[in-house]
Amino acid sequence: MQEEKKGRRDFMGKALGAWVAVGGIGALYAMKRTWDPLPSVKAAGFTTIDLADAQPNQLVVEKWRGKPIFVLKKSADMKKDPRDVVVGDDHFLIAIGLCTHLGCIPAYVGAEHKFKCACHGGEFNASGEVLKSPPPSPLVIPPFTIDGTKLVLGEAGPEFKKLKDAGLIA
Amino acid sequence: MRELKILAVVVFFSLLTYYLVEPYAHSQMHKHVEGHNFVYTGEDDIQEASKEKKEVKEKFWSEVKTIAALKGDPAAGEAGFGMCMGCHNGAGVNMGGVIPPNLDHAGALYSKNYLIALIKDPAMASNVDHKYADTMTHPMGSVKTMFTDNQSIADVVAYLMTKKAGDVTPKEAYEEACGRCHAMRYAKLTQLGETPKFKHEKDALAYKIKVIDAQDAVKAYMGKLPPDLSIMIRARSEHFMETFVENPQSQLSGTSMPRTGLTEEGYAKVKAYLEEVGDPSKPKREAVGPWVLGFFFIFTILAYLWKQSQWRDLH
Amino acid sequence: MAHFDENAKPFSNKWLDERIGLNTLKRVLNTEYWIPKNINFLWAMGMVLAATFGILLVSGIMLLMYYKPDTNLAFDSVNYTIMSEVGYGWLWRHVHAVGASIVFLIIYIHMFTGIYYGSYKRGRELIWLSGMGLFVAFSAEAFSGYMLPWGQMSYWAGMVITNLFSLGSLDVTGLVEWIRGDYVPGDAYLTRFFMLHVMLIPLAIIGLIVLHFGTLRLPHVNNQESEEIDFEESAALWKAGKRKESKVIPFSPVFLSKDVFVMGVYFILFFYLVFYNFEFAMDPVNFDPADGLKTPTHIYPEWYFLWSYEILRPFSKDIGLIAFGVAQAAMFFLPFIDRSPNVAPAHKRGLFQIWFWVLLIDMITLTAMGKLPPTNPTFATIGLIAAVLFLAMGPILFIITMFEKKIEKGA
């Protein structure tokens, strides 16, 4: 008799505890949503760059999602690369301007057609490929789509998907 | 049972306090204003008017009634409307203090009686005649010289009511009826419409100066800059909003805000937009509320059973 | 050095007991923290308050993530970012606003319960005093929080309340400016009240809650008949399995189970208000941005400050301020004003019972008059009478309790 009562007491306490846990999960979900990036932050994750104004061998740095974006129009004497973004007849390097080693911003040396990173001495060529370690991989190409001479960063268009399918970008 | 009696006492005094500080206090604090369901017959205007003006207003609104009874011809009205287009062209250019409103949905938004009155005498119709010694000096005052006979007014209003009465979205309703004077920063709207995005700060600042110029013009005309309406829907009670929009003088005597002449449906559209911007969480509140309350109902039942199991052999 | 069992598994009951005295903690705080059995739901208000404080803390932390204590940004960070952009931001804000208002309803119920059952009397004075400390801290917390949305009510409440510190005709404007950090409530003012609201006062509240619980441990919770219980004897009965005969129950799980049930009922009311009836806690006037050049037509404090506001209002400036000060302090002295040796519920204490109900009704009257427009002479007169009566309630209590008949034990 005594045991039976105790059993019922424990059971009801546990049932209530389980129900509170359900509510707790709901509350945690709401808290998680509060931590999410704001819709306005996400909506602002697109940057449009007009490539028509670019000059050959002159690096333009734009900003996309808080990161620097390298836009480099290749001059005739620069090597073409399958990773180039082609608009009309012009070839461009479009890449996130952060060294793939530890995230410093490499400087462009126009005369040598090279990116040199001051932090740990890494070097990239004008197509973003590694010339000198420590960087383990080429400069990263952000998702983009081409709209006439305009480049929209943040949206994966057909050209971007093609590069991706070809295994040229991670 | 003793415990329930105590509960009754607690509930009684809590509700009494609530009643006194909320419904009762607010009923004493605010002026009582009767609504008219957005029907414009000038009843209030005549009642509020000073002795010397009463007669003029009575005459004015009775003429409006006469015109409303006439059968208007939309085809004839179209030619008359051509004159309106001189100013109401949607160009957003300030004329005499205000930007003439776009009339694309006038027939859907505004009451017929109001439109008739407005063409007859804009200052009288919008109940701001106290601002003008001669209502001819109202920015739209010259309309009186354009439509001089009753039939031409009936015709142009018939034209508006049939040809300019297409479907209107809440946002369009807001922009046409309120947006020329009121900004709404939470929707990125100013007196000049939607604020575009600028890449260069210089362009953004140049645009800002244009907005300030437009606001200064409205300010010069209205006496003060009409308030931003972003969350007006939460800052004023439903009743206040309705009666104020219907006749601004009723709630704020002497205000320079003109009556807009919205119909009940037109106001419903405007209100929907004010709510969409000013109280966007309302649909989410209504969706989440029942779940949370349901959770606590079950919580309470389980807690009661637990309590019963703990307390059953105590007495 | 104490003995540590080599074979105890890490984090097992025994292992923890040897290190932090787990079993002692459980015993002292839960299973052998004895609560009288003869209680009603009013005894759950303490835990209801603790739960509400917890809700305010959590919702407050969520709001902190996007709130900006800057006069140019505060209003829109609350009304735009939090209300329309942040996921469930509107929920936290509604919960926080309703919680801040309703917590005072529970505080008042809790206080009047204490007064009715004589729970401030001999042996329990410190419970009352620490509780009053909490009341003051919660009031400061509510006021400082009210500044943060930087609406019209925030600004003008800040203006009016800080002006009280000019101390009437003493005109200590220096003190007022010092409190504001400016000539009027401005950026410095908002930021420092933000600091008070999210840091200093919450710390004080948490400390006071610990103290309040501490003062409760030895005198124990009072009971419906204010009976003096031999806790040791009753506890022994309970431990011997004589649940019926014992006059006490352990805090956990028996007392707690009833608390949780009361909390459930309370939460239904609470969330009903959060979702469907929140305007009493989120005044429309505060949805107009602060404007230092335009006072709203009607300004009034939140409902829980109205009674003290009304004590200030009907008098001339200096007298009003003194009356206000006296009223705020008087409550602290309740255990010492009450001269009667009887520890008994009001219905057994003759005149005290009348005094109790008069006090309650007087405070409700003050509350109502504090919000009603004073331009109406009827309301102004009722307010004045109620304020004078409130001030007289202290001396009256002193006199009636001096002559209160001693209740004989067992009578």
Going from N- to C-terminal start, the domains of chain B cover: 1-30, 35-280
Q: Distances in Å between the alpha carbon of C52 and those of C49, C102, C106, C198, C282?
A: 5, 9, 9, 16, 18
> How far is it, in rounded angstroms, from Cα B110 to Cα B217?
25
Which DSSP symbol is given to B224?
Answer: S
Are C356 and C115 contacting, i.e. CB atoms less than 8 angstroms apart? yes
**Which among C358, C390, C386 is positioned nearest to C374, based on CA atoms?**
C386
- Report the C-alpha dihedral over residues C289, C290, C292, C294, rounded to 10 degrees: 50
Q: Tokens 């609201």 — which residue?
A: C197
Q: Which residues in chain B touch residue A15, judged by CB atoms under 8 angstroms apart?
A: 302, 305-306
Give the one of A13, A22, A23 whose C-beta lies nearest to B306's C-beta.
A13
Measure CB to CB from residue B280 to each of C84, C282, C285 and give the nearest one.
C84
The boundaries of every CATH 1.20.810.10 domain in chain C are 39-219+246-299
Q: What is the Cα–Cα distance from C67 to C287, expressed in whole angstroms?
A: 16
For chain C, report the end-to-end CA distance as a whole number of angstroms: 54
Q: Which of B118, B174, B179 is nearest to B146 (CA)?
A: B118
Mutation choice for C interface testing from B186, B237, B308, B310 by most C CBs within 10 A: B310
**Closest CA of chain B from A37, distance in Å:** 18
Which one of B304, B305, B308, B314 makes the best mutation probe of the A interface by having the most chain A beta carbons within 10 Å? B305
Rounded Cα–Cα distance for residues C17 and C23 (Å) = 6
C50: closest CA of chain B, how far (Å): 18
- Test the C interface: residue of B14, B15, B17 with most C CBs within 10 Å: B17
Smallest CA–CA distance from A8 into chain B, residue = B309
CB A153 within 8 A of CB A144: yes
- Tell me the percentage of chain B whose pLDDT exceeds 70: 100
Q: How far apart are CA A116 and CA A139, in angstroms?
A: 12
The two structure tokens encoding residue A71: 């836009």
pLDDT surpasses 50 at B308: yes
Cα–Cα distances in Å, from C198 out to A15, C58, C203? 36, 12, 9
The whole-angstrom separation of Cα B129 and Cα B126 is: 8
Residue-level pLDDT at A1: 43
Which residues are paired to A59 by β-bridges? A72
Inter-chain touch A31–C62, beta carbons under 8 Å: yes
Residue C393 or residue A49, greater confidence: C393
CATH, range C39-219+246-299 = 1.20.810.10
| Chain C residues inside the 8 Å CB shell of B3 | 40-41
Q: Is the pLDDT of residue B272 over 90?
A: yes
Answer whether B200 touches A (CB < 8 Å): no
List the single range of B17-21, B110-114, B292-296 with lowest mean pLDDT: B110-114
d(CA B268, CA C239): 68
Output the pLDDT for position C1: 55
Interface of A with B in 107-126 (CB under 8 A): none
pLDDT digits over B201-251, tens only?
999 999 999 999 999 999 988 888 999 999 999 999 889 999 999 999 888
Q: What pLDDT is recorded for position A3?
A: 60
pLDDT at site B52? 80
Within 8 A by CB and 6+ apart from B37, the residues are B264
Chain B residues with CB-CB distance to C37 below 8 A: 314-315
| Nearest CB partner across the interface for A16, out of B291, B302, B312 | B302
Average pLDDT value for residue range A106-125: 84
The model's confidence at residue C404, banded by pLDDT at 50, 70 and 90, is confident
| Minimum-distance CB partner of C62 among A9, A34, A38 | A34
The mean pLDDT of B54-81, rounded to a whole number, is 87
Tell me which long-range contacts A5-14 makes (C-beta under 8 A, separation of at least 24). A5/B309, A5/B312, A5/B313, A8/B309, A9/B306, A9/B309, A9/B310, A9/C253, A11/B309, A12/B302, A12/B305, A12/B306, A12/B308, A12/B309, A12/B310, A13/B306, A13/C253, A13/C257
Whether pLDDT at A2 is above 60:
no
Task: Answer whether B20 sits within 8 Å of C268, measured CB to CB.
Answer: no
Q: Which of B178, A79, B26, A35 is nearest to C87 (CA)?
A: A35
Q: What is the mean pLDDT of residues C306-325?
A: 90
Q: Give pLDDT tens digits for C48-77.
A: 999 999 999 999 999 999 999 999 999 999
- Would you say residue C291 has pLDDT above 70? yes
Average pLDDT over residues C104-133: 95
Tell me, yes or no, if A16 comes closer than 8 A to chain C by beta carbon: yes
Which member of B302, B312, B313 has the closest CB to residue A19? Answer: B302
Predicted confidence (pLDDT) per residue in C211-242, tens digit: 999 999 899 999 999 888 999 999 999 999 88
**pLDDT at position C185:** 93
Looking at beta carbons, which residues of chain C come within 8 Å of A19? none
Q: Is the pLDDT of residue C410 over 60?
A: no
Looking at every residue in chain B, the average pLDDT score rounds to 89
What pLDDT does C409 receive? Answer: 64
Closest chain B residue to the Cα of C249, Cα to Cα: B314
Q: What share of chain C in percent tops pLDDT 70? A: 99
Q: What is the nearest CA distance from A19 to chain B, expressed in angstroms?
A: 7
Kindly identify which residue of chain C lies nearest to residue A40, measuring between CA atoms: C85
* Most confidently predicted of B54-68, C19-33, C200-214: C200-214
Distance of alpha carbon C328 from alpha carbon C348, whole angstroms = 28
For testing contact with chain B, the best of C43, C47, C79, C84 (most B CBs within 10 A):
C84
Give mean pLDDT, residues B117-133: 86
Distance from CA of C85 to the nearest CA of A (A): 6
The mean-pLDDT minimum among A3-12, C36-45, C166-175 falls in A3-12
Give the residue carrying structure tokens 């490929």. Answer: A129
CA distance C65 to chain A (A): 8
**Is the pLDDT at A5 greater than 70, yes or no?**
no
Beta-carbon pairs below 8 A across chains B and C:
134
What the block records as the tokens of B208 is: 């800002």
Please list the residues that pair with B62 across neighbouring strands: none
Q: How many CA atoms lie within 13 A of C125 on its CB side?
A: 10
Distance from the Cα of B92 to chain A's closest Cα (Å) equals: 29
Asked if pLDDT for residue C411 goes beyond 50, the answer is no
- pLDDT attached to residue A149: 80
Between A114-123, C16-25, C365-374, C387-396, the lowest mean confidence (pLDDT) is in A114-123
Asked if the Cβ–Cβ distance from B313 to A15 is below 8 Å, we say no
Chain A residue closest in CA terms to C87 = A34
Six-digit token pair at C161?
């309340």
Most confident of B40-49, B88-97, C269-278, C298-307: C269-278
Residue of B nearest to A62 (CA): B199
What's the confidence (pLDDT) of residue A4?
A: 64
Q: Which residues pair with A50 in a beta bridge?
A: A150
Chains in touch with A (≥3 Cβ pairs < 8 A): B, C
By CB neighbour count within 10 A (0-12 exposed, 13-18 middle, 19+ buried), where does A25 fall? Answer: exposed
Chains in contact with C, where contact requires at least 3 CB pairs less than 8 Å apart = A, B
Residue C93's pLDDT band (cuts 50, 70, 90):
very high
The average confidence (pLDDT) of chain C is 92
Report, as an integer, the average pLDDT of C303-318: 90
A32-56 in b/e burial notation, b at 16+ Cβ within 10 A?
eebeeeeeeeeeeeebebebeebee
The C-alpha R_g of chain A, in whole angstroms, comes to 26
DSSP label of C333: G
Token readout for B215 is: 């606001």
